[in-house]
Structure 1
């Protein structure tokens, strides 16, 4: 009887994951955006997992990419948020999230490609995982004062069991990515608003 209950719980969990993943794997992105080819996709040719999330930002594209880098900097535990990191292709970028007791958990990425006002492509550089994951940020101008920011993640997994584990944690990853997008949005819009007010 216990085995039947466990099987039923596992089946219910899988069903819930399948239903919810249809929503959070491409949070905020259109069907066309989630299916389009983007710079960086070729680095993981046959991904087990691909997600695309997007948000509109009421700021020109030139104001957004610096805020992407600043937000990465803040997530890595730096406190001087006004200093823009000098990033170039080949550099290592530590991206993570704050944890308890003031510590920060970070993952190391290598900057593979960066085009101003267009996109930045990061490849995971952790030992044993290098090349298995690519995260890229893409900017699309909408008129002069509005931009669309996309995050694309492509992950190649080596073992079938890894897929199940990633599916379990993907809602948290999606929430983190969404929080990142909204943080960039707030910072870019606030910076643009301050610049307009100062000019006036």
Structure 2
């Protein structure tokens, strides 16, 4: 991540002029996020068991979820969860508009921008449901940045959004994640967002709301460099950014 480069000016939605969105609040938020990333990377061996199931119950962390079958033998997996005081129908529009060149990630926008991944329709992560982004369908791409995107594999509104990225790391070409044949250097990841209504005695205080589960699974070529990259850097950085995203999604859905 290019954390030393100053954020560029962003364009407002109609692209007719540029404005600086990074006021003190944005910069302070970015400093907090950068500090969280640095400390999480450094303390990764101690924190890994915690952040791989952040917010999730033991049952949620270990149960089968939709999308698991895409990655039969994952080298890494996490399950995170958050309770939202809004029904799934109210959360869903905020969820399906996420992404680069879409409504953003509801996370640390300054850090996304510094990493070259901060191009969003409203400049910063949207604080509104964007009508033109509500037509997501199977086969569409949700970009992380210009060079990397997940593909929508399955949808069941307003309950399931399952994405996959199976790619040859050398050529960038996609391959079928269900195929037993793999390129020499590859990664194959699934990213599932499951919206449930809490039932029974496990989370009685959130009855009538939404339990958002996020399950990520990945297989990759088991080289030493890949092991270090995914486990020592990508995973802890992802936790900090995704935790903020989950909190941002909850704030927006509950604020309607």
Taking structure 1 as the reference length, what is the TM-score of the superposition?
0.76
Instruction: Note the C-alpha offset of 1:144.
Output: 6.2
Q: 1:155-191 deviations in whole A, cap 9, x for unaligned?
A: 1011232122211111111111111111110110001
Q: Point out where structure 1 has 5 or more consecutive residues left out of the alignment.
A: 1-13, 97-103, 192-200
Q: Which is further off, 158-167 or 38-47? A: 158-167
Q: Within 2, Cα distance between the matches of 1:125 and 1:46? A: 14
Two-structure CA RMSD over aligned residues (Å): 2.3
Match of 1:136 among 175, 192, 201: 192
Alignment map for 1:90-109 (pairs within 5 Å): 90-94=139-143, 96=144, 107-109=148-150
The alignment status of 1:173 with 2:238, answered yes or no, reads: yes
Q: Which is further off, 108-117 or 78-87? A: 78-87
The alignment status of 1:152 with 2:201, answered yes or no, reads: no
Q: Within 2, Cα distance between the matches of 1:88 and 1:30? A: 30
For residues 15 and 83 of structure 1, do their structure 2 counterparts lie closer, same or farther at Cα, with a shift above 3 Å needed? closer
The alignment status of 1:74 with 2:114, answered yes or no, reads: no
For residues 167 and 125 of structure 1, do their structure 2 counterparts lie closer, same or farther at Cα, with a shift above 3 Å needed? closer
Instruction: Note the C-alpha offset of 1:128.
Output: 4.7
Number of residue pairs the alignment of both structures matches: 170
Q: Within 2, Cα distance between the matches of 1:123 and 1:190? A: 30
SS, match of residue 77 in structure 1? coil
SS, match of residue 247 in structure 2? helix
For residues 87 and 15 of structure 1, do their structure 2 counterparts lie closer, same or farther at Cα, with a shift above 3 Å needed? closer
Instruction: Note the C-alpha offset of 1:18.
Output: 3.0
Higher helix content, 1 or 2: 1
SS, match of residue 185 in structure 1? helix
> 1:37 maps to what in 2?
64
Taking structure 2 as the reference length, what is the TM-score of the superposition?
0.61
**1:49–1:156 Cα contact (<8 Å) kept:** yes
